[in-house]
Structure formats: structure tokens, C-alpha cells
Amino acid sequence: MVGPAAFDPGTIRRADHSAFSHEYGCWRSVRADLVRRSGVGRQETNITADNYAILLNILGATKEGEDYLDGRRVAFTQRQAGSLSFIPAGHSWSGWDDGDPTASYLFITIGKKFILDHFESMPGVDLDRLVPALGFEDPLIQYAARSIRSEIGQRDPLSHMMVENHARTIFGRLFRRSGQRGHYVKGGLSPAVLKRLIDRIESSLDGSLSLTELAQQAGLSEHFLSKAFRLSMGLPPHAFIIRRRLERASEMLRYSSRPITEIAYACGFSSPSHLAAAFRRVMGMTPKQYRADWKI
């Protein structure tokens, strides 16, 4: 179980500050802590996860520092607003960073039993493949985490159900992400070919890219490419491209003031309404609502 004493801001992310606020909510197996600070200098991170921990950076960017996962130094990645960090049960994250003086973050803790009960017996799911990850982005996890944040302070009976549904979404995405890195099933693409294709997709998010072009890039038939790509990435090429365009659009909505019409065309959508329809289908809200939510 995750309880009221599961989080201490002064220990887990220690820093001097001129102003500080801390809110939290507990829902059986899930706890969320919202911490806001100003006048922040260098902060020290010291997280040893007895349960599963997800940190969403809501406001402020980290610009330099050192990170250690399970005692081993890893490359430091600057973390912007919206970035996520994940520490599975039994792992640790320590280090320090300097960044913007005004910052806020959401720290979500999910009990081990909750994960075991919902995922352990699911075909294709391997708990050992969940490894620490710092400074990554995933719009669905971001949205689910912020939805949990919105339940802090709620007292109605539905809150437990809603929070646990969002927790399941987070871990569904984490399991899918774990299958995309360093794990290639038989019949999938080789790492070299997959990297070449993803690089091609990333360089073409603002325009049209056909399956024929991707097949030529890989030196495969379109039929075999579609099957092998899905085995490697969990999605067919077209769905993967749409997801990456939505992820790019969500980044631009958060970090830029560009009009939504410009963002739609820059991310390869045929019109603002095309972006809005795809965004609503995946995120459950319009691009305008998503941008407004991140301004709070």
C-alpha cells in the first residue's frame, strides 16, 4: 500500500527556496504529491523506490547537473516542462541539477501490488523490462499524470476509480515503451534498419511520407515492412507516424506560442481540423484545451 508518509520533499528533492507549497492525495495504491517552489537554487535528488515512481516536471527546466541510476553515472539530459522520469521499484536515482528558480513537479507513487495484480499475468508483459528512464516525453503519460493531479483534493467515491484508471494507462504506456528499446522479436526489423527508418520518419514529420518510400529505404516489400515494423514497434508504420506527429504537436503547443494552424501544417496534418480530430481521439481534448491546461 502507498500511504501518507510515502513522500518527503525535503529528502527526495532537497533544495533551498524562498517559497514552497505541497499538496498531496492518496487513493489506496496510488499517491500524488504536487510541489511548487520559487527561489530554487541547486537541488539534490535522492530517490530509492520501494514502489514505482513517476515524476512529471510541470514548470521550470533543469539545465545542468549529474545523474546516477542505481549508483552508476549516466549522461545528463536537460529536462524541460513536460518531461517525465520513471524509477521502478527496487531502483534508485540520485544526483543534482541547476535550473530555473521557479519550478513545480508532480511525484506519483504506485504500489507494487497494484502493478502485479493488473499486469503480471498479462501475455507479453515482463516486469523486469521496466527500467529507470529520465527526461523522456510521452503525451499519454503526461495527460494521465496531470489527470491524477486534478484529483488531489477530491473526496467523492469516483476518485479512486478514476485515479487507478489513469495509473493503468501510465503503465500500459510504460510497458509498450519498454518493448521498443533493445528488444526485437523474431520476424522484426534489425536494429540498423529500424534506426534508419525512424530517422527517416523523424526528418519527414512535416510532410507526406508513403509506405512505398519507407519500404524502399528498408529494401523490403511493403507487406513485409508493415508486418516487421509492427513486430518491432508495436504499431504499423502509419500509426507510428501519426503518433510521432501528435507528440511533436504536443511539444510545440507547450513550448511555443505559434498559432495552432501553423503547428498543424508543421506536423504534417492537412488542416487544423485534421490535427484537432487526431488530438481529441488520442488525448481526449482539443489542441487549444491542451495548450491552456499547460499554462496553469
Give me the DSSP letters along the chain: ---TTS--HHHHEEE--SEEEEEEEEETTEEEEEEEEES---EEEEEE-SSEEEEEEEE--EEEEEEEETTEEE----B-TT-EEEE-TT-EEEEEEEE-SSEEEEEEEE-HHHHHHHHTTSTT--GGG---EEEE--HHHHHHHHHHHHTTT--STHHHHHHHHHHHHHHHHHHHHHTTSS---TTS--HHHHHHHHHHHHTTTTS---HHHHHHHHTS-HHHHHHHHHHHHSS-HHHHHHHHHHHHHHHHHHH----HHHHHHHTT-SSHHHHHHHHHHHHSS-HHHHHHHHT-
pLDDT tens across 36-47, in order? 888 887 889 999
pLDDT of residue 100: 87
Name the more confident of 270 and 187.
270
Between 56 and 187, the higher pLDDT residue = 56
Q: How far is CA 49 from CA 169, 217, 279, in A?
A: 20, 43, 33
CATH superfamily of 9-178: Jelly Rolls (2.60.120.10)
pLDDT tier, 8 (very low <50, low <70, confident <90, very high otherwise):
confident
Radius of gyration of the chain (CA): 20
In sequence order, which residues have a C-beta less than 8 Å from that of residue 265 and are 6 or more positions away?
A: 206
Q: What angle do CA 94, 24, 1 make, to 5 degrees?
A: 75
Instruction: Please check the confidence at residue 185 and state whether its pLDDT lies above 60.
Output: no
> Does the pLDDT at position 119 exceed 70?
yes
Cross-strand pairs, 73: 68
Task: Provide the pLDDT for residue 285.
Answer: 82
Q: Which residue has 509492427 as its cell numbers?
A: 230
For the record, the C-alpha cell of 169 comes out as 494507462
Q: What is the mean pLDDT of the chain?
A: 85
Cα–Cα distance between 124 and 76 in angstroms, integer?
31
Taking the model in full, what pTM does it have?
0.68
The residue extents of the domains of the chain are 9-178, 191-294
- Which CA distances in Å does 131 have to 59, 92, 157, 216, 260? 25, 10, 33, 34, 35
Amino acid at 13: R
Q: Region 192-207: what's the mean pLDDT? A: 86
Provide the pLDDT for residue 186.
Answer: 52
Q: In Å, how far from its chain's centre is CA 158?
A: 25
Does CATH number 1.10.10.60 belong to domain 191-294?
Answer: yes
User: Which residue shows C-alpha cell 498559432?
Assistant: 259
Residue 98 pLDDT greater than 50, yes or no: yes
Listed residue (114, 86, 89, 107) closest to 24, CA to CA: 107
CA 293 – CA 296 distance, rounded (Å): 6
pLDDT digits (tens, 9 = 90+) for 54-90: 999 998 888 899 999 999 999 888 888 889 999 999 9
